[in-house]
Amino acid sequence: MKKTLIAFAITAMASTYAAAQDIQFAAFNDVESAFASQQAEIEQLRGQLASFQDMMADPALEPGAVDAGACCCCVVSYCGVTFEAELLMLSWYNSDGGDDFLDSLEHGSRWTLGHTNECGQSFRIRYFEWKATENGGGEDLLIETLDFEYAQRISLNCNLHAEFSGGVRWASWHETQAGFLIRDSIGPMVGIDVRNNLCGCMNLYGVAHYSHQFGEASGPDDDFVSFGIIEVQIGVESSTCVFGTHSTIRAGYVAQNYLGLGDDSDEDYGLHGLLFSVQLYR
């Protein structure tokens, strides 16, 4: 009887030990599974963080722009230092049709230097100069403008991007033979630049600027003057990458209208013609 009780006790202890071992192994397996699940989630979060860091490091800010290393030519715009050189072939016109001042195109230039940050905000300076000579005569008209501009880019959809701008414009108008000069006119300026992707690296663009100038005229009738300047552009652009520098080439039609500078209240002067430009982003 005593031996039977001892054997029973040993058997019970062995069963209890085996059950405890099973429970311990099951708990260990549960912990190991939970740890593996946590490791998978951590790796997933690491991947998402790396993707976000790559996106922030990519200079292309707008949706629809692709990796610059894969095909930088299709990127719509970049951050960093920006430089633009424009050649404008413009002809003079008078709204009343009574001034045949210029029969052919005269070239002008416009230079822009600025910087765009990672938030799509741009700060830039732009200088425009156009000289004209009267038919058979010397220099008769010199127009100059200097813009200090702030702009903000936004994406309207994957193919349509816009930039809204505002700033201050200095403008000078000098008619040599007429002895009429508007020097140091200052006024506020607003603008919009819209781009729509056509296919691949080609975009259709449109630009509009308006400023209203205030200054003093010197000439036959010295007086305080205020006048408006409207400019509209429309054309096509193509982006590419040359020696690690992103560039955009533009060609289009441009028209400027100077409101309130004519001899009559309902007479305006203006320029219109062709525009060719190269934009560099670094």
pLDDT tens profile 36-51: 677 777 777 777 777 6
φ, ψ at 28 (rounded to 5°)? -65, -40
Shortest CA distance to 254 belongs to which of 281, 230, 238?
Answer: 230
Q: Are 274 and 254 in contact (CB under 8 A)?
A: yes
b/e for 136-170, b at 16 or more Cβ within 10 A? Answer: eeeebbebbbebebebebebeeeeebebebebebb
* % of the chain with per-residue pLDDT over 90: 36
Cα–Cα distance between 280 and 85 in angstroms, integer?
Answer: 9
Report residue 205's pLDDT band, with 50, 70 and 90 as the boundaries.
very high
Number of neighbours of residue 234 by Cβ within 10 angstroms: 15
Cα–Cα distance between 76 and 155 in angstroms, integer?
Answer: 11
Predicted structure pTM score: 0.69
3-state DSSP helix/strand/coil % of the chain, to nearest 5: 20, 55, 20
Among 177-181, 186-190, 262-266, top mean pLDDT goes to: 186-190
Tokens of 35: 């740890």
pLDDT of residue 181: 74
| Averaged pLDDT of the chain | 77
The answer, yes or no, to whether residue 3 has pLDDT greater than 50, is yes
Of residues 208 and 26, the one with the higher pLDDT is 208
* Tally of residues, the chain: 282
pLDDT tens profile 232-266: 999 999 988 877 778 899 999 999 998 877 555 55
User: In 3-state terms, what secondary structure has residue 169?
Assistant: strand
Report residue 178's pLDDT band, with 50, 70 and 90 as the boundaries.
low
pLDDT tens profile 94-138: 766 555 455 578 889 999 999 998 888 999 999 999 987 765 555
Report residue 68's pLDDT band, with 50, 70 and 90 as the boundaries.
very low
pLDDT of residue 64: 36
* % of the chain with per-residue pLDDT over 70: 66
Shortest CA distance to 186 belongs to which of 200, 197, 172, 170?
Answer: 170
Report residue 196's pLDDT band, with 50, 70 and 90 as the boundaries.
very high
